[in-house]
Structure 1
């Protein structure tokens, strides 16, 4: 390779913030690193997103213990990616919940994704030796399910394909707050390497229809207030479209992946170059956009070897 992945050189410590997004609802954020959410019920706590390792999960637990001593009963995982799920064992929860499609993707590509992500972005796997293995849910659902934490109702829903085929969102009706996973980002690049560009906008519309008062996004600051929520939804939509359309035009005329990369950079760099993990995401985003535009509906599985081959082609 001419040079390493941008993320391999991203070794700086990130500042953690812990923001209340509603009564008893919190967003754990870290300057563009994977976020987690906290939902406090009458007698127990639900965690949304488990971090990449048990050691990193303990940073979330430390923040939870600053505000409540209630036990952690549930961990909800919005999709299958390693940086979201492999820390789940640290929480000691009674239930680990995923959508049925996300579980199927763990079966199909969970180990390959772990190996690939670890190679690309080693800093996000601090304490990787503490990971006991792939994370498997105790509970799954197809379209929607409701969990009651005492009297607090929490709705889990699949609103459409976007970041992956199996994305779910978590809505807390009593505060009209949503946890969206990586369907929505804020001043952070969307990772689209396993995404569905044609569906993403419709899924954002489905989220917007809830007219929520706050969102804990997948990456970036907590979105508090309807104006901030709307801005993040539109920025996410713009990012996805600005990546896909140039790559699709190149693919439609039989151009190369490298040409698609150059076209996407021309469209995206002026608007998004300062977003967190932009350089890390862009090669994978363009590769997936190029595939989707050529009719490949199911994202091809990323492996550590495929990562390197793709990167070599783009550098050439």
Structure 2
């Protein structure tokens, strides 16, 4: 391989923030690294997204303990990706919640994703020795479920395919706040390697239909206020369209993956090159957009070997 992954050399520790996005609701963010969410109920706490390792999860727990001593009873996982779920053991939650489809993706490709992401993001997996194994939910749902943290209602829903086939959002109706996982990003590249570009736009419509007052996105700063929410949804739409449209044009004329790479770079570099993890995501995004445009509905499984072959072909 002629070059390392763009993320392989990113070993600098990120500055974390813990931002209140509603009454008793917080977003843990880290300069474009995966975010987590915190929902404080009457008697207990729900965490949204586990982080990649127990080491990183403990940073979230430290922030939680700065605002409440209530026990962590629930862990909601928006999808199956290793950087989101493998820190789950640190929380000792009574329930770990995923959609049915997300659980099926752990079965189908969870180990491959872990191996793949471990190679791509060494910094996020520092302390990986403490990961006990794949994270499995104790509770799953098909379309929606509701959890009551005392009197606080929390709705966990599958609004459609987007970042993965099994994405969930977490909606707290008393504050009109949503935790979207990687369906919405802010000043961070969308990772589309397991994505569904056409469906993603419709799922963004569904998110917007709730008219959230704030959103804790998958990556990037907390989105506090309707203006910031609208801007992030709009920029996410633009990122997806600017990636898919050039790749689809290349695929329609029978061009190669390398042709698609060049076309997407020409469209996206001027607008998004300063976004977090942009260079890391781009080859995976182009490969998936090219596949979807050629009628491959189910994203092909990424393995460490496939990652390197693709990266070498496009970056070398």
Q: What TM-score comes out, normalization by structure 1 length? A: 0.99
Counterpart-to-counterpart distance in 2, 1:313 and 1:133: 32
Separation of aligned partners in 2, 1:157 and 1:2: 42
What secondary structure does 1:18 align onto?
strand
Q: Which residue of 1 aligns with 2:249?
A: 249
Aligned to 1:212: 212
Q: How does 1:25-104 map to 2 (within 5 A)?
A: 25-104=25-104
Count of matched residue pairs:
316
The answer on whether the counterparts of 2:179 and 2:216 sit within 8 Å (CA) in structure 1 is: yes
Quote the residue 1:113 is aligned against. Answer: 113
Does residue 236 of the first structure (1) align with residue 236 of the second (2)? yes
CA deviations on 1:21-60 (whole Å, 9 max, x unpaired) are 0000000000000000000000000000000001110000
- Measured on the aligned residues, the alpha-carbon RMSD in Å equals 0.5
The whole-number CA distance in structure 1 between the counterparts of 2:315 and 2:54 is 35
Structure 2 residue aligned with 1:170: 170
CA shift for structure 1 position 97: 0.3
Q: Could you say what secondary structure the match of 2:183 adopts?
A: strand
Shift of 1:141: 0.2
C-alpha separation in 1, matches of 2:177 and 2:102: 23
- Match for residue 123 of structure 2? 123
* SS of aligned partner of 1:219: coil
Structure 2: how far apart are the matches of 1:28 and 1:177? 15
Offset of residue 315 of structure 1: 2.8
Q: Deviations over 1:174-205 (max 9, x none)?
A: 00000000000000000000000011110000
Map 1:146-225; keep pairs closer than 5 Å: 146-225=146-225
Measure the CA separation in 1 of the matches of 2:309 and 2:218.
28
**Partner in structure 2 of residue 274 of structure 1:** 274
Deviation at 1:279, TM superposition (A): 0.3
CA distance in 2, matches of 1:289, 1:75: 32
By how many angstroms is 1:114 displaced? 0.2
Kept in 1, the 8 Å contact 2:3–2:312? The answer is: no
* Alignment deviations for residues 132-187 of structure 1 (CA, whole Å, 9 cap, x no partner): 00000000000000000000000000000000000000000000000000000000
Cα distance, 1:76 vs structure 2: 0.3
Question: Which 5+ residue runs of structure 2 have no aligned equivalent?
Answer: none
CA distance in 2, matches of 1:275, 1:15: 16
Structure 1 gaps, min length 5: none
Query: What secondary structure is seen at the aligned counterpart in 1 of 2:133?
Result: coil
**Secondary structure, aligned partner of 2:145:** strand
CA displacement at 1:2 relative to structure 2? 1.9
The 4+ residue runs of structure 1 with deviation greater than 6 A are none
